[in-house]
A = this chain, B = another copy of it.
Amino acid sequence: MFAEIKGLNEECGVFAVWGHKDAAQITYYGLHSLQHRGQEGAGIVVSDGDTLNVHKGLGLVNEVFDQQSLNALQGSAAIGHVRYATAGGGGFANVQPLMFRAQAGGLAIAHNGNIVNANNLKLQLENQGSIFQSTSDTEVLAHLIKRSGYWSLEDQFRHALAMLKGAYAFAVMNEHQLIAAMDPNGLRPLAIGRIGDAYVVASETCAFDIIGATYERDVKPGEMVIIDDNGLRSEQYDKSPNPAICSMEYVYFARPDSNVETINVHTARKQLGKQLAIESPIEADVVTGVPDSSISAAIGYAEQTGIPYELGLIKNRYVGRTFIQPSQELREQGVKMKLSAVRGVVEGKRVVMIDDSIVRGTTSRRIVNMLKEAGALEVHVRISSPPIKHPCFYGIDTSTTSELIASQHSVEEMREMMGADSLAFLSTDGLKKGIGRDPELNNCGQCLACFTGEYPTEIYADTVHPHAKV
């Protein structure tokens, strides 16, 4: 996955289904299509109306589940989760859905996002006698629900949500209900679909396509959607929502075949590429993109400029954990990892290399170098998003500020560091225009915090990156 190359990692993918006799199977395929959102762990909780059952584990969806474990998950409702690969992380204890058992019944939670006041809440809860088994911010929600004093999941959940700050797209299930909820800024995507009479909920619409479900609508900022055997009800639990969806979902994270809030991601990326061509044209022989996430932008750039689009870079599909890494010595001799330049395409050419974003800049330097070694006469780097200068507190594992190259260096310095012949980024206006959301909204309804430092929520002194150790 490209995540390995860039060091820009999404938190998670969430999926849920209510009212389908093959709930676990459906969830398995749904999670598989969300695999790009998290490769560390996967899990499914099913409800058969009486009890909840769980299977989860570290690894990819098809490593965690086999026919036997899937068959054991009988029931017509399910929630599932894929979790992204942390360096060390909490291991198994953090794999979701989290499941809790009480005499009165069970509770399962799947979460995408990051709760910025989690530490604060944890301290309060510990003082009241709560104990925690994971380092995850998600466990906080369970305690808040439990301690709410209300009787129904719906009331408990509403009460708990009121105490949370930050980014969250939740799917929560007990034996009787499935509830999906979105933070007041709608920072993470979450869509609702139908498959026959059943309801499905997913972080991205590509999960609907793979199972043959139809898209209905997105969960709205500050909305809580309650699904049970009586159908679907909506409640706007936050009365003053302020839409600010993560721009990087369009730029980098989501699959090109997903629609995020009705905008197709491939199309948005192609528009970003066109916008980039308008802002920063260059004379060159070929346009190439860094696979996989920058292909659409590269095609857009080529289309706008009329320079041919070519496969100048190819990704080596190293398959997972078991692949034997080359020794340092072999790597120095030129044994490639992950990406190769295609000599037959770039040799003797002036190359425009499109990338979607730059985090630490090390990958870009390596790619420019590869292209030159493969015979490129010039390499012009064009980035289809603005410089990332500020950390994300909403579920993306960007490095700290000091590691973000764009927060420490000017564009010209970066160009020199990566050995490119020219370097240009898309402007934030270009970004808004390219994605094409509602211009009436603040920032067109996008979160631009990592580019501008303007965070749509409060940030606390003890707000932590999601994967810092407690």
Q: Which of B55, B65, B142, B336 contacts A131 (CB 8 A)?
A: B142
CB <8 Å contact, A56 and B100: no
How far is the CB of A18 from the nearest CB of chain B, in Å? 16
Does any Cβ of B come within 8 Å of A461's Cβ? Answer: no
Q: Is the CB of B101 within 8 A of A324?
A: no
Nearest B residue to A28 via CB reads B324
- Contact A342–B28 (Cβ < 8 Å): no
- For chain A residues 123-153, which have a beta carbon within 8 Å of chain B? 123, 126, 128-135, 142-143, 146-147
Contact (Cβ within 8 A) A326 B142: no
Quick check: which of A9-17, A252-260, A420-428 contacts chain B, the rest being far away?
A: A252-260
Question: Do A310 and B270 touch (CB < 8 A)?
Answer: yes
Pick the contact of A91: B54, B322, B336 (CB < 8 A): B54
Least CB separation from A269: chain B residue: B311
Q: What 0/1 readout, one digit per residue, does chain A (190-223) give for beta carbons within 8 Å of chain B?
A: 0000011000000001100111110100000000
A343 vs B196: C-alpha distance when bound (angstroms)? 18
Q: Which of B57, B98, B311 contacts A256 (CB 8 A)?
A: B311
* B contact residues around A308 at 8 Å (CB): 270, 303
A25: which B residues are within 8 A, CB to CB? 324, 326-327, 330
Contact A257 B323 (CB under 8 A): no
A363: Cβ under 8 A from any B Cβ: no
> A230 contacts the other chain (Cβ, under 8 Å)?
no
Cα–Cα distance between A212 and B265 once the two chains are bound (Å): 35
Given contacts A93-B54, A266-B344, A327-B25, whether A143 and B131 have CB atoms under 8 Å apart is: yes
Complex Cα gap A314–B309 (Å) = 19
Contact with B along A90-131 (1 / 0, CB 8 A): 011100001111111001000000000001001100101111
Q: Contact between A132 and B101 (Cβ–Cβ < 8 Å)?
A: yes
List the B side residues contacting A320 at CB < 8 Å.
62, 319
Q: Report the separation of the CA atoms of residues A352 and B26 in the bound assembly, to the nearest whole angstrom.
A: 31
- Give the copy number: 4
Contact code string A50-87 (vs B, CB < 8 Å = 1, else 0) = 01001111001011011100100000000000000000
When the two chains form their complex, are residues A123 and B103 in contact, meaning their CB atoms are under 8 A apart? yes
- Closest chain-B Cβ to A216's Cβ sits at a distance in Å of 13
Q: Return the contact of A326 from the options B29, B267, B299 (Cβ within 8 A).
A: B29
From B104, B258, B266, B310, A310 is in contact (CB under 8 Å) with B266
Q: How far is the CB of A315 from chain B (nearest CB, A)?
A: 10
Verify if A22 is at the interface (C-beta below 8 Å from B): yes
Q: Mark A18-58, 1 if CB is under 8 A from B, else 0.
A: 00001001101100110100000000000000010011110
Residue pair B133, A130 in contact (C-beta under 8 Å): no
How many Å lie between the Cα of A314 and that of B311 in the bound state? 17
Q: How far is the CA of A324 from the CA of B42 in the complex (A)?
A: 15
**A67, closest chain B residue (CB):** B324
Q: Are A316 and B32 in contact (CB under 8 A)?
A: yes
Of A65, A102, A122, A135, the most chain B CB neighbours within 10 A belong to A102
Q: Is the CB of A99 within 8 A of B93?
A: yes
Q: Which of B29, B67, B336 lies in contact with A212, CB distance below 8 A?
A: B336
The 0/1 profile, CB within 8 Å of B marked 1, for residues 305-337 of chain A is 000111100101111101110110110011110
Task: List chain B residues, Cβ under 8 A from A256.
Answer: 311, 314, 342
For A319, list chain B residues within 8 Å (CB).
Answer: 60, 62, 319-320
In the assembled complex, the Cα of A344 lies from the Cα of B215 at a distance in Å of 11
Tell me if A210 and B103 are in contact (CB < 8 A). no
A164 within 8 Å of B by Cβ? no
The smallest beta-carbon distance between A418 and chain B, in angstroms, is: 21
Contact of B103 with A470 in the complex, beta carbons under 8 Å = yes
- In the assembled complex, which residues on chain B have CB atoms less than 8 Å from the CB atom of A51? 469
Cβ-defined contact, B335 with A133, below 8 A: no
B residues near A135, Cβ cutoff 8 Å: 101
Interface contact B210-A316, CB-CB below 8 Å = yes
What are 11 contact pairs spanning A and B, CB under 8 A? A22-B330, A25-B326, A101-B470, A103-B122, A130-B131, A209-B343, A255-B314, A257-B342, A266-B310, A266-B342, A266-B345
Q: A25-B326, A92-B92, A266-B345 are in contact. List 9 more A-B contacts (CB 8 A).
A: A22-B329, A29-B330, A65-B324, A102-B126, A103-B470, A195-B333, A211-B334, A266-B311, A266-B344
List 5 A-B pairs, minimum CB-CB distance, nearest first. A212-B334, A264-B344, A257-B342, A257-B314, A129-B147
